[in-house]
Structure 1
Amino acid sequence: MPEPTPILPEVLDQIRALPASENRLIICDVDEVILHLIRHLEDYLHERELLFLNHEYRLTGNIGRLADQSVLSAEEVRAHLLAFFDEISHAQDLVDGADRALEALAEHWDIILLTNLPGSHNKPAREKLLGSMGVPFPVVTNSGPKGGAVAALAANRSGPVVFIDDSPTNHTSVQASLPSSVQIQFIADERFLAATRPDGHIDLLTGDWQETAAFIRSIL
């Protein structure tokens, strides 16, 4: 079992600025959960004669050149991700049903969006886009595994905590930092969803917001 993930000071500052609440809580990722990521990233890669080498859930070691499928270095992948988010953060498509499901769940749950987003300048664009799509919930930006941030967000909550994210790394981190949470691994892209084998601590693997909302309602 990995050690609990410490929270970054800049993330803790954002959490402390949120209104205090003891209500039950949904902590929800944004990319590939509320907003499509993979389809946009794939378009970005193809425009640069790059591609995903397979549908494994990772980026480093899984992006290559179209000509010879040679693998990009970690530094090259990071540079492309920074450029990609600068280009697309204001224009991603909504995952079908996310807005309606979250609006309905918000009648009985607090909802906080916890997103790994490079560049603090991209946060306002993401908040504006989500608000325009009917997803007006508080956004906390993080970097790296999310366990420490999830534990901090859940502190002093008396009700259940649900964590929704696509990344197995983030789920493993949350399992170490807040094992009492209900973990939903949501992957909108059907190919990556089909290729994913969930770890034992995952309570639901899905790419469907109706199924997700029904599962969360059943917790109560």
Structure 2
Amino acid sequence: MPEPTPVLPEVLAQIRTLPPSDRPLVICDVDEVILHLIAHLEDYLHQRDLKFLKHEYRFTGNIARREDDVPLQADEVRQHLIWFFDEVSHEQDMVPGASAALNDLAQGWDIVLLTNLPGGHNKPRRERLLAGMGIPYPVLTNSGPKGGAVAVLAANRPGPVVFIDDSPTNHKSVNASLPSAAQIQFIADPRFRAAVEPEAHIDLLTGDWQETAVFIDNLLRSRA
């Protein structure tokens, strides 16, 4: 089992700007959960004669040149992801139902968006995009596993905490750092979702916001 992850100083500084609250908390990822990622990334790759080798949750070793199927080196993959977010992070499409579900949940829950976003300069553009979609919740930018940030966000809150993310790595990190959190693995792309075998700590695997909202509502009712 992974060790608990410490919160990064730059993320802790963002968390400290949030007002104190004792309400239940939903900590929600953005890419492939609120905003489509895979579809946009495939378009980006195809425009550069690149492709996914498999529809599975890894980038390094899974992005290759179309003509010879040779995977890109890790540093090339990282650079392409930086370029992708620089070019696309201000115009990603919303996953259907995300805004309505989050706004309904906000009646009973605090909502914080915790996103791994290369390049801090892209944060304001992402905040404007989400706000324009009717998703005005605080956006915290992280790097790497999210367990430490989730544990700090949940500290001193008596109510339940829900973590929504697509990444198996982030879910393992949260399970190590805050095992009491309810964990929803949300993957909008059906091909990538079908390739995932959910770990035991995953309470719901879904790509549907209505199902997600019902699950979270029931969770709060069961603990009332």
Q: TM-score range by the shorter chain?
A: over 0.9
The code of the aligned residue for 2:10 comes to E
Once the two structures are superposed, the pairs formed by residues 69-80 of structure 1 within 5 Å of their partners are 69-80=69-80
Q: TM-score with structure 2 length normalisation?
A: 0.98
What residue in structure 1 maps to residue 22 of structure 2? 22
Once the two structures are superposed, the pairs formed by residues 39-78 of structure 1 within 5 Å of their partners are 39-78=39-78
What residue in structure 2 maps to residue 147 of structure 1? 147
The DSSP-based 3-state class of the residue aligned with 1:185 is strand
Aligned mates of 2:54, 2:85 — CA distance in 1: 22
The question of 1:92 aligning with 2:74 is answered no
What residue in structure 2 maps to residue 167 of structure 1? 167
What residue in structure 1 maps to residue 112 of structure 2? 112
Runs of 4 or more above 3 Å deviation: none
The DSSP-based 3-state class of the residue aligned with 1:68 is coil
The DSSP-based 3-state class of the residue aligned with 1:90 is coil
Residue-by-residue CA offset, 1:92-138 (whole Å, 9 max, x unaligned): 00000000000000000000000000111000000000000000000
Aligned mates of 2:116, 2:152 — CA distance in 1: 16
How far residue 56 of structure 1 moved from its aligned partner, in angstroms, is 1.1
What residue in structure 1 maps to residue 125 of structure 2? 125
Aligned mates of 1:15, 1:31 — CA distance in 2: 20
What residue in structure 1 maps to residue 32 of structure 2? 32
Segments of structure 1 that go 5 or more residues without pairing to the other structure are: none
How far residue 33 of structure 1 moved from its aligned partner, in angstroms, is 0.1
The DSSP-based 3-state class of the residue aligned with 2:184 is strand
Q: TM-score with structure 1 length normalisation?
A: 0.99
Aligned mates of 1:103, 1:60 — CA distance in 2: 35
The code of the aligned residue for 1:91 comes to E
How far residue 28 of structure 1 moved from its aligned partner, in angstroms, is 0.1
Aligned mates of 1:20, 1:60 — CA distance in 2: 39
What residue in structure 2 maps to residue 201 of structure 1? 201
How far residue 181 of structure 1 moved from its aligned partner, in angstroms, is 0.1
Identity of aligned residues (%): 73
Residue-by-residue CA offset, 1:54-92 (whole Å, 9 max, x unaligned): 011111111000001100000000000000000001000
The DSSP-based 3-state class of the residue aligned with 2:120 is coil
How far residue 22 of structure 1 moved from its aligned partner, in angstroms, is 1.0
Aligned mates of 1:117, 1:15 — CA distance in 2: 16
